Structure 1
Amino acid sequence: MAPHRDNAADAAPPSDVPAPAAPPPGEWAWDARRVAQLGILTAGRFCLNGVLRLVYPFAPAFARGLGVPLPTIYGLISLRNFTGLFSPLLAPLAERFGRRAAMAVSLAIFSATVLLVAAAPSVWTLGLALVTVGAVKVIYDPAMQSYLGDAVPYAQRGRALAVTEFGWSGAFLIGAPLTGWLITRYDWSTPFLWLGIGGISAAALLWRTLPAARRHDHGSVSIAYTWQMLRKHPVIWAAALYMLLPLVAQESLFIVYGDWMESTFGLSLTGLGLATTLIGLAEMTGEGTAGWSVDRFGKRPVVILAGLLTAAAFLLVPFSVGSLPTALAALVGVFFFFEIAVVGAIPLLTEIVPEARGAVMSMTFGAMAAGRTIGSIVGPFVWARAGVVGNSLVAATVMVLAVLVLARWLREGREVSP
């Protein structure tokens, strides 16, 4: 997010933008250096998302290992999600101190708390690690996506952002089976050791590989500036609402995923990890499809279609409880289309108000955290009273509302008054 300037002609280049390279105007070179940078950014996201996501399928195992009721783990998840609501306060730190520094320090703090879980496993250290992940993720992700928003032309941005989204799906595709194996062979806290080592390694590589941050010359980004952009561009509220609603939908079903799989199909930890791998594969395929399709066919039409198909897939879940393969097939459909609806929307959101890109992304990440918080509270409540049927109906309804918000108010580079 570049700071507000009254004279656009005097504007300095956006923070952390790499030096101009050889490709023609409007093109972005997919050379070895760029690919390495994307790989490191993705590795950092993988470690953050590993802790963020693996608590869902293995929540019953964590509860057993700690000797606490399962609702205690759900409470820690809700607390972690609540921390993400501070994104509008925390995300501007990347603009003030530089995106490279913010991302590297975020990963270092993350690694310290995660390694503490491995060294002294308890419900308190687990809670501290989850809350820390919730805080640093809303610094790391907006900084990374704003960096790519500045560096990559809009026509190619979908592909670049989709690459970094593999750090999300990879947490399931790779992390889930390894976590199941590590917990079975050792104990519940062992995966945190390896995620901590990976996080500090990614921080060091990121610091050495990304261009040095350049301080803004015309003032610094502040909460007051973010609020000014929100008043000037009400469409940012619509963008935040769009990102909130799909996360409510997904979280309300997925928070009870581990309990549902264990209680309905009797899966072991290894089996649960392998089943979750299929979800990770569906997500990775969805991310790749999003990166290819939104640049080719247009961001809005692809995202709208994917959102409607996600709602339809949610409605199919209750009909799949008769067998494990059918249930997994329904979940694969949910997560495939969901990833397109969310990942495909990110490049669209980076362009709705280009001069306030950082404000847009920090608000949307705060909204996503709010969505997870709401979903993590609603999900167990509905699960206890209506089972998977109730969770699926809630998720489908909320997803349709999200599509309506996007179709009505969100356009590339052109505001529609809410």
Structure 2
Amino acid sequence: MTATADESAALAAAALPKLTLGKWIANTALRWVPPFLPTLEKAFGASTTQLTTILGASEIAGLSTVAVGRHLDRGRERIVLLAGLVAVIVASLVALVGTTFTFAIGSVLVIMGVANITVAGHSFISSRVPYERRARTIGVYETSWALALLIGAPIIAVLISIFGWRGPYVTIAVVAAIVTIVVARSAAITRPPRPDAGADEAPSIVPPPGKISAVTGRAWLTIAGAAFVAMAGLSVFAISGSWLDDAFGVPTGGLGAVAMGFGAVELLSSLSSAAFADRIGKLRGTVSALMLLIVGAVVMLLADSTLWIGVVGILLFLCGFEFAIVTSFSLVSEAMPSARGTTLALSNGIGTVARGTATIVGGWLYGIHGVSGTLTLSIGAATLSAIAFTASRSRFSRP
């Protein structure tokens, strides 16, 4: 690696804490809703199917990332990050109105914000950190997803207990505004990417940046694999709170504790990806994690009315999902090295359709068949993901 690339990687390391902080707040705004869905159902007078349908339909907002790909390839990550944080602030304020309609608007805005923050952060890291150690950096950045539950969930539970369902929305709006100022004033994030700080493993033929029509076969396989990973995880996570409440009678305080456990397992998985994915191989690690996800789904099916078995199953499920999704980000970032921003943005756009479909269909299947219907969808998606990634093996092995 050249000296210039060393400087660029150091720049990414300096910016990483602020990037992770911003993504943590955005992820908390997004992730606190499903575990506490029963609380919002009562507040809005809505059913599980209605709210999961809103959450799923709102995922279409993630398609907004397709439009920012070319800007990311030109080093404009900071602008996209700030726009995403502003969307999170507005989403929280709109949701305070307290109707199902404003909940839907808030869901659209928060998903738009999180999606753009995610691809901007991944693009920033991928343009500065070499591929052989990129999983470590992205793994650290993605601990924000787990911290949203590990730290955010118990705080949300306390806020709901003291202030009611509006407490989390007000708190997130205020904190997100502070973080927006921090990111805006960060010199490390304002500097453009180094042109020679890219990965060491570029394919022999790469398409020009910003042109979706030139996406390679390897990229499409990787994008499909990542989309199916998202579908496998989100279909179950969206109904997790309702399942724990319906099957085991877990109250709001208990949901906060369980969600905190979810966050702990996800944090362990993110850190494991950061520590081991570069060593064992990103492709091998992703496929192995998908197998663990399927094992966890089977355990959930066997839980019946036994709470501890159900919790063990969902923790195994989340462990596999988190490792797989975090590690797959590195695979996507290297699918087209000359146009990482475009590839990441396209992947997120397609992934958002997969997540939305999973949330809607998973909610419907849960309403009709119970958790077995949702888990069947999840297992099928995980299997398709493993097939797509495995089919790309020979392409990823090229120098």
- Please, what TM-score do these two structures have when normalized by structure 1? 0.85
| Partner Cα distance (1:288, 1:67) in 2 | 39
**Residue-by-residue CA offset, 1:242-277 (whole Å, 9 max, x unaligned):** 111122212222221111111111111111010111
CA distance in 1, matches of 2:140, 2:169: 24
Q: Find the partner of 2:31 among 53, 62, 68.
A: 53
The aligned counterpart of 1:173 is 150
Q: Which of 303, 313, 317 is equivalent to 2:296?
A: 313
Q: 2:180: which partner in 1?
A: 203
Contact 1:94 1:139 in 2 (8 A): no
Aligned to 1:338: 321
Unaligned regions of 5+ residues in structure 2, if any? 196-206
Which of 355, 371, 385 is the equivalent residue of 1:372? Answer: 355
Cα distance in 2 between the residues matched to 1:363 and 1:127: 24
Shift of 1:113: 2.9
Cα contact 1:101–1:213 (8 A) shared by 2: no
1:172 Cα shift? 1.0
- After superposition, where does 1:60-99 map in structure 2 within 5 Å? 60-95=38-73, 98-99=76-77
Distance 1:101 1:395 in 2: 35
Deviation at 1:281, TM superposition (A): 0.7
Which residue of structure 1 lines up, in the alignment, with residue 117 of structure 2? 140
The alpha-carbon distance between structure 1 residues 89 and 156, as it changes in their structure 2 partners (threshold 3 A), is: same
Q: Which residue pairs with 2:384 in the alignment? A: 401
Per the TM alignment, residue 29 of structure 1 is displaced from its structure 2 partner at its CA by 9.0
Q: Could you tell me how far apart the structure 2 residues matched to 1:53 and 1:368 are? A: 17
Selected match of 1:156 from 104, 112, 133: 133
Q: How high is the sequence identity, in percent, across the aligned residues?
A: 21
Alpha-carbon offset, residue 112 of structure 1: 2.7
Contact 1:312–1:396, Cα closer than 8 Å, also in 2: no
- In the aligned structure 1, how far is the partner of 2:9 from the partner of 2:126? 15
> Take 1:307 and 1:370, find their aligned partners in 2: how far apart are those partners?
20
Q: CA deviation at 1:412?
A: 6.9
2:208, 2:214 within 8 Å by CA — same for their partners in 1?
no
C-alpha displacement of 1:53: 1.4
Summarize the Cα distance change of 1:97–1:344 in structure 2 as closer, same or farther, 3 Å threshold: closer
Q: 1:251 to 1:34 in 2, by over 3 A?
A: closer
Q: 8 Å contact 2:5–2:128 — kept in the other structure?
A: no
Q: CA deviation at 1:115?
A: 2.9
- Aligned runs of 1:101-140 on 2, under 5 Å? 101-118=79-96, 120-140=97-117
1:257 and 1:215 map into 2 onto residues whose CA distance is 40
Pick aligned residue for 2:18 from 40, 61, 72:
40
Q: Which amino acid aligns with 2:362?
A: G
Partner of 2:159: 182
Q: CA deviation at 1:415?
A: 7.1
What secondary structure, in the 3-state scheme, does the structure 2 residue paired with 1:121 have? coil
| Equivalent residue in structure 1 for 2:168, among 182, 191, 197 | 191
SS of the counterpart of 2:127? helix
1:293 alignment partner in structure 2: 276
Are the equivalent residues in 1 in contact too, given 2:5–2:194 (CA < 8 A)? Answer: no
User: Do 2:208 and 2:339's aligned partners in 1 also have CA atoms closer than 8 Å?
Assistant: no
Q: How does 1:230-309 map to 2 (within 5 A)?
A: 230-309=213-292
What SS does structure 2 have at the residue aligned with 1:344?
helix
How far the C-alpha of 1:375 sits from its partner, in A, is 0.5
- Displacement of 1:357 in angstroms is 0.9
Cα distance change, pair 192–95 in 1 and its aligned pair in 2 (3 A): farther
- 1:338-376 per-position Cα deviation (integer Å, ceiling 9, x unaligned): 111111111122112211211210111112211111101
Shift of 1:320: 1.8
Structure whose residues are more often helix by fraction: 2
What code does the residue aligned with 1:344 have?
T
Output the amino acid matched with 1:278: G
What's the TM-score, normalizing by structure 2? 0.89
Change (3 A) 1:188 1:151: same
SS at match of 2:293: helix
For residues 33-83 of structure 1, give each alpha carbon's deviation from its aligned partner in whole angstroms, at most 9, with x where no partner exists: 765521211111112111221111111211211223333322220221122
Q: Note if contact 1:78-1:377 (Cα within 8 Å) is conserved in structure 2.
A: yes
RMSD between aligned alpha carbons? 2.7
In structure 1, give the amino acid aligned to 2:65: S
CA deviations on 1:176-231 (whole Å, 9 max, x unpaired) are 121122112211111011111221222111121234254999xxxxxx97673543
CA distance in 2, matches of 1:52, 1:150: 27
